[in-house]
Amino acid sequence: MRKYLVTFHKTVPDDIGHDHRVVQRQAVVSAGSDVAAAYAAKAMFREAAGVSDWRLRADTCEVIELTEQAA
């Protein structure tokens, strides 16, 4: 299994109208693929936030595979 960092962002405007991406939640997930990691992280987000759809709290979901570094 590979490890993935899944980051959820919400885009919010500042007081002069510029949009900023704000991190809502991050999770490190072990999964067989990036798609499986996204599904797992979305389920964790829904449960932690107490919502039926993660998109109620975030706009985007970004998945990055983590690599192990040699010591």
- For residue 71, being part of any structural domain is answered with no
Edge-to-edge strand order for the sheet containing 19-31? 19-31, 2-13, 60-65
Return per-residue pLDDT of the chain as tens, 71 residues.
999 999 999 999 999 989 999 999 999 999 999 999 999 999 999 999 999 999 999 999 999 999 876 55
- For residue 50, being part of any structural domain is answered with yes
Range of the domain at 39: 2-65
- For residue 49, being part of any structural domain is answered with yes
- For residue 35, being part of any structural domain is answered with yes
- For residue 9, being part of any structural domain is answered with yes
Whether this prediction's pTM lies above 0.95 is answered by no
Domain count, the chain: 1
- For residue 53, being part of any structural domain is answered with yes
- For residue 13, being part of any structural domain is answered with yes
- For residue 70, being part of any structural domain is answered with no
